[in-house]
Amino acid sequence: RRMMAHVNSSTNKALKDAFSEYRSDPRRRFHVKIRRERARQLRELLSEPDTVDLKTFNSDVWIWSNGVYLNGEKIKPAAFDNADQEQVTQYESALDSGELELHGNLIWSPPTRIYGAMLGVDDEQKMENVRAALRFLNDAELSPPQKARRVQTVAGFGPATATGLVMIFHPDEFAIYNKQSKGAMEKLGRDESTLEDFERQAADLKEILGAADYLELDHFLLHINQCWIKVPGEDMQNGTDHHEGTARDPLNLILYGPPGTGKTYSVQREAVRILEPNSSDLPDEEINQLYREYRAQGRIEFVTFHPSYSYEEFVEGFRYDEDAKIPVRKDGVFKLLADRAFNPRSSPTPTEGTRIWKVSLGGGSEQHIFERCIQEGEIAVGWLGDENLEELDRDGIAELFAKHGQSGNRINSVNYLVNEIRDGDYVAVLKNNREIRAIGVVTGPYQYKGEEYGSEYPHIRPVEWLDREDHDIYEMNERKRLVQQAIFPLARISLQEFLTLLPEEERSDEPHVLIIDEVNRGNISRIFGELITLLEEDKRRGASNEIIVRLPYSREAFAVPKNLYVIGTMNTADRSIALLDVALRRRFAFKEIMPDVAVVREHLLGAIEADPKSGFGEDEVALICGVFEELNRRVRVLVDRDHQIGHSYFMEVISTSMLHDVLYRKIFPLLQEYFYNDQRRLKLLLGVCNPDVPKGFVHSLESEYRRVYGEDPLEDEAPWEFYEYPDHQLIDVLRNTFLTEG
């Protein structure tokens, strides 16, 4: 990626034209007006840190939107995007008069729905943290950059939230530093690698464009990053849009080349670069660390294809369960990663077995129970209100019901709440037998709140609410009406399909990468089945020709999300691209990785510099590089370019003993496999052995054959072996065999 401190005059003009176009839209101007009004309200709300409570901070500051109300009626912020000029004027008038109420920060989207969800501390400690951050924001002795740095020292406040809060307090002086604004700067070819660099670039842009404040500039940058506004110029083309993919980052890619060319090394770097665009120039150890971290997070998965690998392992199928002693349906790596890629950004990573539960929260005269659960972030049931069920299994719960003279589905409902629902499962709150009215994700274990609630719905599970809109799920539930049972699993609805109900800003756009090693060794039609078509960019979820299929075992609806990248590796010595499955070839881009003598030279020179006592110097490095090139020239002539020897075999050779090991334990066995029963071409490749020179590695055993059997061997059965020279002769043998004429 090219870094630029200042754009040239033609790009400045393009930016100004784009900004003029942006400003000409009354709906965009109204969005900026909302931002300014909300920033003013939040400055006022947060000006007295000791008066702010955690619930208010979560509902009015931490969350992006907690409701926009017009004359008491809730409306979606998206309504502003579809408004005409007259409607915008009416909205502006309502905002000025106070009839349009704003809740949430409405400026940026934090990574979670509540502050400190993953900190593992109680609410009292969270409140202390929040107030510490607010004191920094209100400290008149600190400059905006100092405030941002101080707020980031508070647990749970990352760069986006810290700089966003500072922008609210100083909209004329400081810009938010988050994924959207950094992405826009990258597309503009500007250096945003550090906060200081970003703020300098933001100030430069604000001056060039004549933006009134950073609230307006940030909204413009959001439009650039989302490609809602195009800025002409070469640097724009160099940006990366993880939603649609680019020529530089194809969604489906195969790295191919001969053995030892570093395809596995390259695929790891490629995967990390997709997830971390600024990582291209990082040293290997840092790339490896990032790769391990992303694998631990579940954003990179690695699988190796082989002839017996199947759809059931890759997508879903029944596999024998040792504990249950029966076959059970399990998700494969492809389905699991697709579900993760589509998962809400604030939710736990889906795992095999993540479920969706229908819950009823009060009803009729118990509407206040629903409102309590939404406000407190929980789901609840009310039976056995005087009993703490923490240590009970289903049988224990059934005994308590029997003691109270009760039975039926309520036993199952309570057991589901206490024992069956897992952290990370999703809940859908019943409205009627077709509709739900809230969606949340479970964040903690069963709790008994008898002291707080008495016997009124005291059994709870903590929940983070993700959506409060009504949704008709009758079709999604295979045209089955929702049952009245208090808690019940929605087994007919796939997780992916369910997550489409969430607002767009709730769904993850973070890229995920599936690495398929040795993709050519698998039976593609057997492994992918009908899903191979879904890999195409325009067939992915949300794309122009989206295809959703119903999987054969689970009957779940499934599509491939646009932020799932598939990178394969292919060894051309095993199979040429021409022999690849046609369906695979059509849907993947291909990147060739060939032997590179420059890589060998660079690594060897670095290695001998780091270890001067190795015994090798620049002369030996030059010889190895020469042998490497000549050996591959002969392979290309005798076989083809797909069977060359990769540079990775030679990269760590800094002594004659290491050279001996590489030749006789790795390279020669590989060549023997290539030229099986073809002594003639092996002699042309490696030379006929003559220890007296010394020269050549292919040693004929015809004389031994005559001595043992008393006759000459047949031409195609003549025995031979690789003559094993002592270490001290290897350099001379290689020079005489590969680099000396005659």
What is the per-residue pLDDT for 348? 56
Q: Judge whether residue 193 has pLDDT over 80.
A: no
Q: Judge whether residue 168 has pLDDT over 60.
A: yes
pTM over 0.75: no
pLDDT, mean of residues 111-117: 68
Tell me the pairing of strands 447-448 and 426-430.
unpaired
- How far is the C-alpha of 215 from the C-alpha of 670, rounded, in Å? 62
Fold of 252-306+515-592: Rossmann fold (3.40.50)
Between 245 and 663, name the one with better pLDDT: 663
What is the per-residue pLDDT for 175? 95
Q: Tell me the pLDDT tens digit for each residue of 647-656.
A: 999 887 888 8
Q: Judge whether residue 76 has pLDDT over 80.
A: no
Fold of 356-506: ph1033 like fold (3.10.590)
pLDDT, mean of residues 516-535: 90
| CB distance 733 to 697 below 8 Å | yes
- How far is the C-alpha of 215 from the C-alpha of 15, rounded, in Å? 17
CA pseudo-torsion sign 498, 501, 503, 509: positive
Residue with tokens 């790795």, as numbered in its chain: 666
Residue with tokens 């964040």, as numbered in its chain: 443
pLDDT, mean of residues 51-71: 84
Q: Which ranges of 143-178 would DSSP assign to H, the alpha helix?
A: 144-152, 159-169
Between 43 and 703, name the one with better pLDDT: 43
pLDDT, mean of residues 184-192: 78
| CB distance 658 to 634 below 8 Å | no
The first and second tokens of residue 416, run together, are: 């589901």
Q: Judge whether residue 383 has pLDDT over 50.
A: yes
DSSP 669-710: HHHHHHTTT-HHHHHHHH-B-BTTTTB-SEEE-HHHHHHHHS
What is the per-residue pLDDT for 530? 85
The first and second tokens of residue 618, run together, are: 């620049």
Q: Within 10 Å of residue 198's Cβ, how many Cβ atoms?
A: 22
Lowest mean pLDDT of 278-287, 427-436, 438-447, name the range.
Answer: 278-287
What is the per-residue pLDDT for 325? 67
What is the per-residue pLDDT for 2? 34
The first and second tokens of residue 501, run together, are: 């109900």
Q: Within 10 Å of residue 426's Cβ, how many Cβ atoms?
A: 26
Q: Where are the beta strands (DSSP E) in 207-296?
A: 252-257
pLDDT, mean of residues 169-182: 91
- How far is the C-alpha of 121 from the C-alpha of 735, rounded, in Å? 68
| Strand (E) or helix (H) holding 517 | strand 512-517
Mean of all residue pLDDT scores within the chain: 84
Q: Tell me the pLDDT tens digit for each residue of 437-448.
A: 999 999 889 999
Q: Judge whether residue 232 has pLDDT over 60.
A: no
Q: Judge whether residue 180 has pLDDT over 50.
A: yes
| CB distance 511 to 253 below 8 Å | no
Closest CA to 596 of 638, 663, 648, 631: 648
What secondary structure, in 3-state letters, does 374-435 show? Answer: HHHCEEEECCCCCCCCCCCCHHHHHHHHHHCCCCCHHHHHHHHHHHHCCCCCEEEEECCCCE
Q: What distances in angstroms separate CA 263 from CA 258, 315, 455, 606, one per listed residue? A: 9, 25, 63, 21
Q: What distances in angstroms separate CA 184 from CA 108, 162, 177, 233, 671, one per listed residue? A: 15, 19, 11, 14, 50
What is the per-residue pLDDT for 60? 87
DSSP 570-635: EETTT--GGGS-HHHHHH-EEEE----HHHHHHHHHHHHHH-GGGS--HHHHHHHHHHHHHHHHHH
Residue 479, helix vs strand vs coil: coil
Q: Judge whether residue 33 has pLDDT over 90.
A: yes
| CB distance 211 to 173 below 8 Å | no
Query: How do the domains of the chain map onto residue ranges?
Result: 9-66+103-237, 252-306+515-592, 356-506, 597-739
| CB distance 78 to 31 below 8 Å | no
| CB distance 91 to 28 below 8 Å | no
Closest CA to 663 of 605, 729, 571, 618: 729
pLDDT above 90 covers a percentage of the chain that reads: 32
CA pseudo-torsion sign 134, 136, 138, 143: negative
Q: Judge whether residue 217 has pLDDT over 90.
A: yes
Q: Judge whether residue 85 has pLDDT over 90.
A: no
604 confidence band (pLDDT: 50, 70, 90): confident
What is the per-residue pLDDT for 610? 77
Q: What distances in angstroms separate CA 280 from CA 2, 264, 286, one per listed residue? A: 11, 16, 11
pLDDT above 70 covers a percentage of the chain that reads: 88
What is the per-residue pLDDT for 613? 75
Q: Judge whether residue 350 has pLDDT over 80.
A: no
Q: Which distant-in-sequence residues (6+ apart) come within 8 Å of 647 by Cβ?
A: 260, 261, 262, 595, 596, 597, 599, 600, 628
Q: HSE-up of 415 (CA within 13 Å, CB side)?
A: 15
113 confidence band (pLDDT: 50, 70, 90): low
Q: Tell me the pLDDT tens digit for each residue of 433-482.
A: 899 999 999 988 999 998 888 888 999 999 988 888 889 999 888 888 98
pLDDT, mean of residues 188-210: 84
- How far is the C-alpha of 315 from the C-alpha of 338, rounded, in Å? 10
Go through 6-36 and write b for each residue having 16 or more CB atoms within 10 A of its CB, e for each that does not. ebeeebeebbeebbeebbeebebebbbbbbe
- How far is the C-alpha of 50 from the C-alpha of 157, rounded, in Å? 18
Residue 437, helix vs strand vs coil: strand
pLDDT, mean of residues 217-243: 62
Lowest mean pLDDT of 132-136, 183-187, 475-479, 506-510, name the range.
Answer: 506-510
Q: How far is Cα of residue 656 from the mean position of the Cα atoms in its chain?
A: 44
Q: Tell me the pLDDT tens digit for each residue of 115-135.
A: 876 566 788 899 999 999 999
pLDDT, mean of residues 80-98: 87
The first and second tokens of residue 694, run together, are: 């010394």
Tell me the pairing of strands 435-442 and 459-467.
antiparallel
Residue 281, helix vs strand vs coil: coil
Q: Residues for the chain: how many in total?
A: 742
Closest CA to 429 of 459, 465, 460, 457: 465
What is the per-residue pLDDT for 3? 34
